[in-house]
Amino acid sequence: MKWLELKLDTSPAGLDPVSQLLEEQGITGLVIDDEGDFRDFLEHNHQYWDYVDEELMQEKQGLCRITFYLSDDPEGYHRLAQVRMALSQLKAAHPEYAPLLLTMNDLEDADWENNWKQFYKPMEIGERLIVVPEWEQANTQGRIPLILNPGLTFGTGSHATTRLCLTALEETIHGGERVLDLGCGYGWHCIYAAEHGAKQVIGIDISDRMLAVAREKTHFEQVEYRCTAIEDAQFEENSFDIVLSSLALHYIESFDMVAKQVSRFLKPGGTFLFSCEHPVFTAEGSQQWVTNPDGSIAHFPVDNYYYEGKRTANFLGESVTKYHRTLTTYLMGLLNNGFGITAVAEPMPPEDMLDLPGMKDEMRRPMMLIVRAVKK
């Protein structure tokens, strides 16, 4: 069978939204290559410095490349046309994602279902964790290994929000806990918890497709996935040591309901760890930069901050409903339901990435909020 190999160049700021665009088009097995990976490789492999010239450094500078494959047949070309249309809309709405350049090669009988594995390498996350594809041999250097088979539809930890939440989680889980993941998606955090000694892990999500992938990639008997909405979750009181949620709660209408629910599920002294979109990011609703006539970014809009409730954002041509609430609502919702707040973070790009295109703009407004609280 013949395949089309597509290479799509974008900016660091465009990496996550472009990857999601492709996944929503039914395209999986994405291979991501960016300047940060290249610099990390050089930093830990000094023996190759002599082979890196200025031309290669310039080629890598400021660009992220996503490689994916489509079948060389009418169905593949139809999907390619859909991708081109979606990219055109995305480029018009987000000039900061440029260049969004798509190139194509024909491959004869490419066994890419195995060849793609060469692009997945061990990756350090946080202070203690290293993510290792199961076919790779890695020197853990004292880090805790998380052994995964990414497969064709499963992330490898390079997604920014996944890395962020795993880093926070590694400070919370130590082994022997019962863990509940609200909005578990592909099961990243469930796998991590089981890998490092959790006695029981339950992940819930409303997406059958995501849960099917999670089940396929999870090889721990103590992990269970259930298809249910967060609002409908029912568990015994005082039954979990850790409840976590990654970028799911801004889709829930009432945070007070979630806080009451989690407080009921957690044992005294148990931990609630969650991330959500920052109230500054959700306030105005559109979640898009205001641009100047020349297309450059003028500012990020913040409006109607104290008017909580439903917001409709346009993401990749689709309307997405989210719920805005103030920072006070998040924090007081915890305090009023028997929690003590132990950590609050507003993540920002690391200093060594600020010279990448689009990253300095990420310093102009917060996008995410991470909170850790303990049930009293």
- Cβ distance 192 to 146 under 8 Å? yes
pLDDT band at 123 (very low <50, low <70, confident <90, very high): low
Compare 234 and 25 and report the one with higher pLDDT. 234
State whether 206 and 350 are in the same domain.
Answer: yes
Amino acid at 244: L
Residue recorded with tokens 């979109």:
277
Residue ending a domain, choose from 93, 119, 145: 119
Number of domains in the chain: 2
Question: Is the alpha carbon torsion for 105, 13, 283, 230 positive or negative?
Answer: positive
**Residue 149 is assigned to a structural domain of this protein:** no
| pLDDT 10s digits, 231-248 | 999 999 999 999 999 889
State whether 351 and 302 are in the same domain.
Answer: yes
Residue ending a domain, choose from 95, 119, 143: 119
State whether 194 and 341 are in the same domain.
Answer: yes
State whether 94 and 211 are in the same domain.
Answer: no
**Residue 143 is assigned to a structural domain of this protein:** no
| pLDDT 10s digits, 30-62 | 877 765 544 444 344 333 333 334 444 444 456
Nearest to 131 by CA among 181, 192, 190, 183: 192
- Cβ distance 219 to 196 under 8 Å? no
CATH of residue 216's domain is: 3.40.50.150
Nearest to 29 by CA among 80, 75, 71, 68: 68
**Residue 195 is assigned to a structural domain of this protein:** yes
pTM above 0.85, yes or no: no
Contacts of 111 (CB under 8 A, 6+ apart): none
Predicted pLDDT of residue 320? 79
CATH of residue 111's domain is: 3.30.70.120
Pairing of strands 178-182, 240-246: parallel
**Residue 135 is assigned to a structural domain of this protein:** no
State whether 100 and 178 are in the same domain.
Answer: no
* 86, pLDDT greater than 90: no
State whether 271 and 189 are in the same domain.
Answer: yes
State whether 175 and 99 are in the same domain.
Answer: no
Predicted pLDDT of residue 58? 47
- Interhelix angle for 255-265 vs 327-335, to 10°? 30
**Residue 251 is assigned to a structural domain of this protein:** yes
- Give the lowest-confidence range in 105-109, 192-196, 357-361: 105-109
**Residue 136 is assigned to a structural domain of this protein:** no
Domain range holding 7? 3-119
* 323, pLDDT greater than 90: yes
Predicted pLDDT of residue 3? 75
State whether 160 and 263 are in the same domain.
Answer: yes
State whether 368 and 289 are in the same domain.
Answer: yes
SS3 assignment for the chain: CCEEEEEEEECHHHHHHHHHHHHHCCCCCCEEEEHHHHHHHHHHCHHHHHHCCHHHHHHHCCCEEEEEEEECCHHHHHHHHHHHHHHHHHHHHCHHHCCCEEEEEEECCCCHHHHHHHHCCCEEECCCEEEEECCCCCCCCCCEEEEECCCCCCCCCCCHHHHHHHHHHHCCCCCCCEEEEECCCCCHHHHHHHHCCCCEEEEEECCHHHHHHHHHHCCCCCEEEEECCHHHCCCCCCCEEEEEEECCHHHCCCHHHHHHHHHHHEEEEEEEEEEEECHHHHCCCCCCCEECCCCCEEECCCCCCCCCEEEEEEECCEEEEEEECCHHHHHHHHHCCCEEEEEEECCCCCHHHCCCCCCHHHHCCCCEEEEEEEEC
| pLDDT 10s digits, 259-283 | 999 999 999 999 999 999 999 999 9
Residue ending a domain, choose from 119, 146, 164: 119
State whether 61 and 165 are in the same domain.
Answer: no
